[in-house]
């Protein structure tokens, strides 16, 4: 078998952890498999590098940020290869560039366009274990270093698994699978044996960071089999795969939360056609992804308040831009609120069931949690709440939908 194994930040956090990873890799190879390893930077390293840049400039260039951030994964890839060699197995480390990971030119959140990987394929056939620095690629022609967005080593692994036609892509992390909600918040959360790409995509995009959203999108599109496992034990993990008959037929399958949310309100904009179009076009042109939008017409019908959410990491940039647009539109002002979180209940079974939203609202109300914004789709209901109630909300919703019990 050809197996891609990706190890996240906590799995390569220090020398002892890297040795443990190397042991697992060597064991997998000795069992007769070809192994390609993809590593993240040591836990906390990417944040540390971002912080360093921000001490120097409030607005560092994205091209240079990518070069800076890609260094964390270089370190762990080389150290992991050294550790494997130390155990008597041939290994070779590759940066994104050496692996031929070609991306578009959107710095800090580039998309992978293709992977050439000729050299890696050759040495793999010669019996080497290939270790790849995750999270990075290079642009076509100019060879600028790009990164794939936070958590992007998951995407590196899935894309490499596809490019090399691997039998499975194993994602090793600090939990032993995908749970009905974050097991670090709800100890009663239940591990899922299998989850469909679609449900995993919903959970990930609503904040369950166990897999990066784009990696799930990619795996779903090309049907790459993904298994989430722990690098700390040998427990069986969770298989992420196509929806099938024996998957659990439940209405709600999980609860997700996202603290990386900020709410911007434009107050008293004139209520006439074209206002929202202007506001959201300018924001989209700045590459900012808007999530929820709520518009309220005031009592006299002449003005409206528009509120929307963006990732907290984009909040300052969005605020500045929105203030400029608000001036042009003669709005009364703009406010920013960052102490919010989005809580979501997810399940493809919701398509054919009613009452999920009502139960969610009454559960939150029953615990004195105020709902600031709501959005729904056929497979999820999301509420924005005060961030300080995040853990409480996750717990009471997990309990109300009896997720610890299973089918
Ligand atoms: P890595 O550094 O290995 O990429 P991450 O921190 O990105 O790991 O993702 C693993 C974390 O995802 C877990 O520690 C857990 O707190 C969190 N998580 C959130 N939702 C879930 C869920 N539904 N199932 C499992 N883990 C979850
Ligand atoms: N090191 C990067 C991050 O922290 C990528 C990853 O860990 O997947 O976002
Ligand atoms: Mg991650």
Q: Answer for the pair 271, 330: CB distance below 8 angstroms, yes or no.
A: no
CB distance 150 to ligand 2 below 6 Å = yes
How close is the Cα of 112 to the center of ligand 1, in Å?
23
Q: Answer for the pair 176, 11: CB distance below 8 angstroms, yes or no.
A: no
Which of 210, 233, 394, 404 has most ligand 1 atoms within 8 Å of its beta carbon, as the pocket-test mutant? 210
Domain contains 63: yes
Q: Relative to the alpha carbon of 344, which ligand is closest?
A: 1
**CA-proximal residue: ligand 1, atom 10 (nearest):** 210
Domain contains 406: no
Atom of ligand 2 nearest to the CA of 153: 8
Domain contains 365: yes
pLDDT of residue 407: 64
If pLDDT is split at 50, 70 and 90, which confidence band does 233 have?
A: very high
CA distance 294 to 266: 11
Q: Biggest alpha carbon distance in the chain?
A: 78
Domain contains 284: yes
Task: Work out the burial of residue 209: count CB atoms within 10 Å of its CB; fewer than 13 is exposed, 13-18 middle, 19 or more buried.
Answer: middle
Domain end: 151, 174, 197, which one? 174
How close is the Cα of 7 to the center of ligand 1, in Å?
12
Average predicted confidence (pLDDT) for the chain: 95
How close is the Cα of 153 to the center of ligand 2, in Å?
6
Please state the rounded mean pLDDT for residues 201-228.
97
Domain contains 372: yes
List beta partners, residue 295.
306
Q: Relative to the alpha carbon of 7, which ligand is closest?
A: 1
Domain contains 219: no
Question: Phi and psi for 293 in degrees, rounded to 5?
Answer: -135, 130
What CATH number is given to the structural domain containing 166? 3.40.1160.10
Number of domains in the chain: 2
Number of H helices, E strands in the chain: 12, 18
**Would you state the structure tokens that stand for residue 66, as one six-digit string?**
């990518």
CB distance 72 to ligand 1 below 6 Å = no
Please choose, from the candidates 83, 113, 86, the residue with its C-alpha nearest in 3D space to the C-alpha of residue 96. 113
CA distance 253 to 352: 14
DSSP 164: T
CA distance 70 to 41: 8
Same domain, 162 and 263: no
- Give the tens place of pLDDT for each residue, 274-326: 888 989 999 999 989 999 999 887 667 788 999 999 999 899 999 999 999 99
Same domain, 262 and 158: no
Q: Relative to the alpha carbon of 40, which ligand is closest?
A: 2
Left, alpha or beta for 402 (phi > 0: left; psi -120 to 50: alpha)? Answer: left
3-state secondary structure of 135: coil
Same domain, 19 and 129: yes
Domain contains 188: no
Q: Answer for the pair 358, 248: CB distance below 8 angstroms, yes or no.
A: no
Domain end: 152, 174, 196, which one? 174
- Give the tens place of pLDDT for each residue, 18-53: 999 999 999 999 999 999 999 999 999 999 999 999
Question: Phi and psi for 201 in degrees, rounded to 5?
Answer: -60, -45
Same domain, 127 and 273: no
Same domain, 11 and 154: yes
3-state secondary structure of 8: coil
- Give the tens place of pLDDT for each residue, 58-96: 889 999 999 999 999 999 999 999 999 999 999 999 999
Domain that holds residue 310: 255-400
Domain end: 146, 174, 202, which one? 174
CB distance 316 to ligand 1 below 6 Å = no
CA distance 25 to 129: 8
What CATH number is given to the structural domain containing 348? 3.30.2130.10
How close is the Cα of 241 to the center of ligand 1, in Å?
18
Domain contains 232: no
Same domain, 126 and 6: yes
């Amino acid at each position: 078998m050809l197996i891609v194994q990706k190890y996240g930040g906590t799995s390569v956090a220090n020398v002892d952890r890297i040795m443990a990873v190397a042991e697992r890799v060597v064991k997998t190879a000795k069992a007769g498999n070809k192994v390609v390893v993809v590593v993240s930077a040591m836990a906390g390293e990417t944040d540390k590098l971002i912080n360093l840049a921000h001490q120097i400039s409030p607005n560092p260039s994205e091209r240079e940020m990518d070069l800076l951030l890609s260094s964390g994964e270089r370190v762990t890839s080389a150290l992991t290869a050294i550790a494997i060699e130390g155990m008597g197995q041939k290994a070779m480390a590759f940066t994104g560039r050496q692996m031929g990971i070609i991306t578009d030119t959107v710095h800090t959140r580039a998309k992978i366009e293709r992977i050439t990987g000729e050299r890696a394929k050759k040495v793999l056939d010669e019996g080497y274990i290939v270790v790849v620095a995750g999270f990075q690629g290079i642009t076509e022609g100019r060879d600028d270093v790009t990164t794939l967005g936070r958590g992007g080593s998951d995407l590196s692994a899935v894309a490499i698994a596809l490019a090399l036609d691997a039998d499975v892509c194993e994602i090793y992390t600090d939990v032993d699978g995908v749970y009905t909600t974050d097991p670090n918040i709800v100890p009663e959360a239940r591990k899922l044996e299998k989850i469909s790409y679609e449900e995993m995509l919903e959970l990930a995009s609503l904040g369950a960071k166990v897999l990066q959203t784009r990696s799930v999108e990619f795996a779903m599109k090309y049907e790459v089999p993904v298994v989430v496992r722990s690098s700390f034990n040998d427990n069986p993990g969770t298989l992420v795969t196509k929806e099938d008959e024996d998957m659990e037929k439940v209405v709600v399958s999980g609860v997700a939360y996202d603290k990386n949310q900020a709410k911007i309100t434009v107050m008293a904009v004139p209520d006439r056609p074209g206002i929202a179009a202007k506001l959201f076009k300018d924001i989209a042109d700045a590459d900012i992804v808007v999530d929820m939008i709520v518009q309220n017409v005031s009592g006299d019908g002449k003005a409206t308040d528009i509120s929307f959410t963006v990732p907290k990491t984009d909040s300052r940039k969005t605020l500045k831009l929105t203030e400029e647009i608000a001036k042009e539109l003669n709005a009364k002002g703009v406010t920013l609120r960052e102490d919010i979180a989005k809580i979501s209940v997810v399940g493809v079974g919701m398509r054919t069931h009613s009452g999920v939203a009502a139960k969610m609202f009454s559960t939150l109300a029953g615990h004195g949690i105020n709902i600031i914004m709501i959005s729904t789709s056929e497979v999820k209901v999301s509420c924005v709440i005060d961030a300080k109630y995040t853990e409480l909300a996750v717990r009471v919703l997990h309990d109300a939908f009896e997720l610890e019990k299973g089918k």
